[in-house]
Amino acid sequence: MKFIEKIFTKIYCIFLPRRAGTSLSDNQAYPQVCLDASNKLKYFNKFRRNTVYASIVETVTRELGKKYLKVLEADKQILGYIEEFKKNDNWGGPVTYDYDVVGSISPTTLRYIKVLSDLHNFYGSLDGFNICEIGVGYGGQCRIVNAMFSPYTYSLVDIQPALQLAERYLSNYIIGSILSFKTMNELDYKDYDLCISNYAFSELPRSLQDVYLKKVILKSKMGYITYSDNFTPREFNSYRVEELLKIIPGAIKIDENPVTGPNSVILWGNRTR
């Protein structure tokens, strides 16, 4: 059955009518899966196992999950919330594995927890923050942040189908933040305390990166962007890390830990440790 599903997915992706995408994931097949999952319960209950969806969002392998967990084992405060974090996997039917110390959990959820650990280590408590996340998946990072802290507002920015799915997913949880779901064009010029982007900003062509720079990144006091110089095709002319370090005031680059590819993390703002 798995083999047949993969073959069908490949055929579906090849013959599905295409339109011009705004990022690597805005390729018609992925948005359609998001719409199906947000509108139909039978798809929502297992969307994180869908081959198309998993190739964009659920990309963390079992072994990489072990590496995230190894880093997290040094953060006892974060691990104290592990049972609450594991509730991320109650919806969407993700693939989970049994790991030492924490038990059964999705490796993608472990990645979100690792990002939260970094945010806590660099910026301290996120209580009362106004946060904007560029590229939100199904809202998993937002839910992980809200499982430990109480940001005042949390703005989720993505293409409309992904936002619809994130809204449906997050509606299953009690979220302390005031949530907003907006496309790039719907964004106001607003000041934020923290900008987050897990790889998504890397997917964009330079013209759209410029919009996010003006509307979000340069208006955020602090930021955490996992970025790759090798994510997009040459015609996208996406910014390179060294260019962004010159554009974003006070930005620095640190190595990704654990290493998942030719990636680095761009940070800026007041750091607590």
Does this model's pTM top 0.75? My answer is yes
Using only C-alpha atoms, the chain has a radius of gyration, in whole angstroms, of: 18
**Cis amide leading into 262 (omega within 30):** no
- Quick check: helix, strand or coil at residue 93? coil
Cβ proximity of 106 and 96 under 8 Å: yes
Q: What angle do CA 273, 200, 228 make, to 5 degrees?
A: 70
Cβ proximity of 103 and 127 under 8 Å: no
DSSP assignment of 147-216, as one string?
A: HH---SEEEEES-HHHHHHHHHHHTTS---SEEEEE-GGG-----EEEEEEESGGGGS-HHHHHHHHHHT
What's the confidence (pLDDT) of residue 271?
Answer: 66
Q: Are strands 153-157 and 178-182 parallel, antiparallel or unpaired?
A: parallel
What's the confidence (pLDDT) of residue 98?
Answer: 98
Q: What angle do CA 266, 269, 272 make, to 5 degrees?
A: 105
What's the confidence (pLDDT) of residue 273?
Answer: 47
What's the confidence (pLDDT) of residue 207?
Answer: 96
What's the confidence (pLDDT) of residue 27?
Answer: 54
What's the confidence (pLDDT) of residue 136?
Answer: 98
Structural element, H or E, at residue 228:
strand 220-228
Q: How far, in Å, CA of 61 to CA of 55, rounded?
A: 11
Low-confidence ranges of the chain (pLDDT < 70): 1-27, 271-273
